[in-house]
Homo-oligomer: A and B are copies of this chain.
Amino acid sequence: MREVVVIGCGMTKFGELWKKSLRDIFVEAALKAIDDAGVDHIDSMYVGAMTPGLFVGQEHISALMADYLGVAPIPAMRVESACCSSGMALRLGLFEISSGHSDVILVGGVEKMNDGADATFALATAADQEYEVYQGVTFPGLYALIARAHMHRYGTTREQLAAVSVKNHHNGAMNPNAQFQREVTLEQVMNATLVADPLTVLDSSPVSDGAACVVLTSVDFAKQLKVPLVKILGSGAATDTLALHSREDITALKAVKVSGEVAYKMAGVKPSDIDVAEVHDCFSIAEICVIEELGFTEKGKGGPFTEQGNTALEGKIPVNPSGGLKSKGHPVGATGIAQVVEVVEQLRGKAGTRQVKNAKIGLTQNMGGSGASSVTHIFQII
């Protein structure tokens, strides 16, 4: 099994990109990643996107992007696992290179959510259409149920939820690619418009446009290149019931836990070895549950752990230095690879004012729906 490294990365600014189309933003991110890697060709490509069919009336974007990137006739495929589409796509690049079928692969993600479609309906297709969506529940509602259960069971407070958003906006204010480059206060989060009790609009990630890409190759192939190498140490993916009501405990994100365990085992590291993490904070409660499932703190302690500053840039385990989905933005299909872009920049020591000191090992965790799919990767600079 050949070892695989990330040799290039690039992303667009995230936000409301009215003047650019779906193909424009993907090509922009792809060219940045290819240029960063310094390669003169790619053998194959994977594009993660959740639902370009519902957002902009365009499926078959794998061939479209290969065409507009000028790399056809190379093989191209789209991968969809709701909001972890491009996180999952990274695994495919890993498998294809480690199998020896290809040497250089582009893996990207893209979503254009602001072009007029009903974003709430489009996103709701990641939940169970027959048993959840048909009854009227959407994602803010599902995560609000998780939040209420977590508050009830573990004593998590409204302030602790808000602390996630305050931290992520603080980090995002230092990220030139972030959708919201500004700080928010605890009071602002708690007093913002209620979306689904107890979650306010400032507990929620926004509707975003954006794209992100990385270039992968084998360690052997990379030797001829003059770029820093970030090795993929571990990769884990897992699934859970799509519908929240089918789970034994709605505060437990089982797929996140399993995807983390598999990735840690493959990488041969433990949670305390991780220097920096980008995790899936689609809502503030999500980050709290995820850091518990990944073992950064005990189950039920995610609230106080966050409130005490352990996940801040200077904390025990800095989480979401990019600003996370909350502040950086969440173009759903692009999010997984955007997390990888941030971790690669952090491990290269090129993250500017939001740089985590001495970051050598990084983790990304990306999930779909209310956690029915999760994918975790662990990286090390070599």
Contacts and interface: CB of A to CB of B under 8 A. Distances in A.
Interface string A125-152: 1111110010000000000000000000
Nearest to A66: B239
A57 B53 CA distance: 11
A8 interface: no
A141 to B, nearest CB: 17
A43 B57 CA distance: 34
Looking at A63, A101, A122, which has the most chain B CB atoms within 10 Å of its CB?
A63
A238 B88 CA distance: 21
A96 B133 CA distance: 33
A63 B101 contact: no
B255 A73 contact: yes
Contact of A368 (B60, B98, B126, B375): B60
A78 interface: yes
Interface stretch (A30-38, A154-162, A240-248): A240-248
A74 B369 CA distance: 16
Contact of A82 (B59, B99, B254, B373): B59
A220 to B, nearest CB: 15
Q: How many copies does the complex hold?
A: 2
Contacts of A1: 99-101
A307 interface: no
Interface in A226-274: 236-242, 246, 254-255, 258
A242 B60 contact: yes
A134 to B, nearest CB: 9
A337 interface: no
A237 to B, nearest CB: 4
A54 interface: yes
Interface in A103-141: 122, 125-130, 133
